[in-house]
Every structure is written in C-alpha cells, then in structure tokens.
Amino acid sequence: MNEQGKLVLVPTPIGNLDDITLRSIATLKEADLILAEDTRVSSKLLHHLGIDKKLTPHHKFNEHKTISGIVVRLQQGQRIALISDAGTPGISDPGFLLVRACVESGVEVECLPGATALIPALAVSGLPAERFVFEGFLPQKKGRQKRLQQLADETRTLIFYESPFRLVKTLGQLSETFGGERRACVCRELSKLFEEIKRGTLDDLQKYYFENPPKGEIVIVVEGLPKKKGS
C-alpha cells in the first residue's frame, strides 16, 4: 500500500510576485499535482518562478465534483498543492471544502505561512490590532443589511474585502449603520505598483472614492464601536 499523501495549502502573492517564500517554491516544485483557482493566473506565477508544471483547475464551480477524486489520489500517496489566485487558499477563496473532505478522510493537511491581504491592511490601518473580526466579503444582496446590523455593536476592529465596483456603496452602508464619523482605512492594491492607503472617517472615504473611482483589490478596515467612558 502506498504511503499516505498530503494536501499542502500554498499562499501565493497578493500583488508583487516576489512575495513568496522559498518553502512555497520548493513545495510547488515537488508536488505531484498543483490545483489552481484560475490556471491562467497561476501559470503566470509559475512561469515567473521557473516552474514548468501542468495546473489542474479547482474552483467554486467544479470543487463539489472533483473533491472525491482528489482525496483518492491523496490516499494513494500523492502530494498535492492547492493555490488560489492570490493569498491563502480557503480565506475568501476555494479550499475549505477540500480541507474538510481531507480531514474527514484522515488525509494530512498542511498550510504554509505566507501572503494574505487582511493582516497587512490591519497592521497599516492605524486602528487597534490586538483584537479584530475578519468578515471577508459581505453578502451581495440577501442578508447584507442584517449582517451589518449584527456588527453595529462590535467593539473589535472589523475587516472586509470588497470589489472596486461596490466600494462606494459599501462605505455608504457602513456609514449609515456604524455612523459616518467612525474611523476607517481603505487599502487598495496592496504590494502592487499603485498601492494606496487612505485613512479617514467613513463619510470622508465615501466622498473620496465617489470622486476618485477605485480599481483593483480592496480591503476595508473599520474601527470597532468605541467603548463608553467609564465602561
């Protein structure tokens, strides 16, 4: 019987392609199979790293159908690497379902340390970082307002991912729910050539991005509900 295989989650750069660890490069080179969210995006990274390997698609549209076959390959002893377009697999990216299936099947899972957008955004925001809540992407339609209302009294720093097309609308909704004077920070295109960090109140930021339509990947960091004096 073959030795048990292993699934390795490999974080990939969120912008600058040099932001990848030596260990991650070695893992990709040694993998029997590399699963990628978008093979077109990931092929550019592999080319940059000088790795000549075929990529197999693994994304939200096919993961339910392919997971069982991947688990079988792992049980047969293969070492499989999972990468997303950017950042750490499973964090607002495909990966959770496969990891769960591996855990349930007794297959070893390892996650390498590496790039993610939420931690740099939190660190650079100037807002309290000792305790925070990561919300990822808010529901686009159903449940969006309900979720915001549930967060209205949250005292920890809040972190959201958002698309440039919804940023102004989202800042407006955050302002309506949390109050326009709540401090926040919008981090755009982290680690890329046109990285932008804008700090201010929710009202100020909404006005700025209404006048300056944004592009690229965005992280919103919002101050938690300030504690009342004496509490």
Of 92, 111, 130, the one marking the end of a domain is 111
For residues 57 and 45, give the distance between their C-alpha atoms in angstroms, rounded to a whole number: 15
84 and 131 both lie in a single domain: no
Assess whether 123 and 214 both reside in one domain: yes
Single residue among 111, 138, 162 that ends a domain in this structure:
111
In a domain, 62, yes or no: yes
**Is there a single domain that holds both residue 142 and residue 92?**
no
Domain span including residue 66: 6-111
**Shared-domain flag, residues 86 and 154:** no
Residue 228 domain flag: no
pLDDT for position 1: 41
Kindly state whether residue 181 falls inside one of the protein's structural domains: yes
- CA atoms of 100 and 112, how far apart (whole Å): 17
- C-alpha 86/C-alpha 44 separation (Å) is 12
Rounded to 5°, the CA angle 178-179-180 comes to 130
CA dihedral 209, 211, 214, 219 (to 10 degrees): -10
Q: What are the beta bridge partners of residue 57?
A: 36
Question: Is 179 found in the same domain as 84?
Answer: no
Looking at the structure, tell me whether residues 136 and 94 fall in a common domain. Answer: no
Give me the CATH number covering residue 40.
Answer: 3.40.1010.10
Cα–Cα dist 120/171, whole Å: 20
The answer as to whether 231 is a domain residue is: no
Indicate whether 98 and 154 sit together in one domain.
Answer: no
Tokens 């680690």 appear where? 191
Question: 111, 136, 166 — which closes off a domain?
Answer: 111
Residue 39 lies in a domain: yes
Structural domain includes residue 139: yes
Task: Supply 137's token pair.
Answer: 């992407």
Tell whether 15 and 38 lie within a shared domain.
yes
- For the domain that residue 197 is a member of, what is the CATH number? 3.30.950.10
Q: What is the 3-state secondary structure (H, E, C) of 3-72?
A: CCCEEEECCECCCCCCCCCHHHHHHHHHCCEEEECCHHHHHHHHHHHCCCCCEEECCCCCHHHHHHHHHH
Residue type, 164: P
What are the tokens at 204? Answer: 């100020």
Residue 134 and residue 184 share a domain: yes
Predicted TM-score (pTM) of this structure: 0.91
Is residue 106 domain-shared with residue 20, that is, in the same domain? yes
Residue 46, number of CB atoms within 10 A of its CB: 21
Claim to verify: residue 76 and residue 59 sit in the same structural domain: yes
Mean pLDDT by 10 residues, the chain (231 residues): 83 94 97 96 96 94 94 97 95 94 97 94 97 95 93 97 97 97 97 96 98 96 84 51
What is the domain count for the chain? 2
Q: Are residues 141 and 90 in the same domain?
A: no
**Two tokens, residue 45:** 């990274």
DSSP readout, 121-143? HHHHH-S--SSEEEEEEPPSSTT
What kind and span of H or E run contains 209?
A: helix 202-211
Task: Quote the pLDDT of residue 2.
Answer: 53
* 11 within a domain of the structure (yes/no): yes
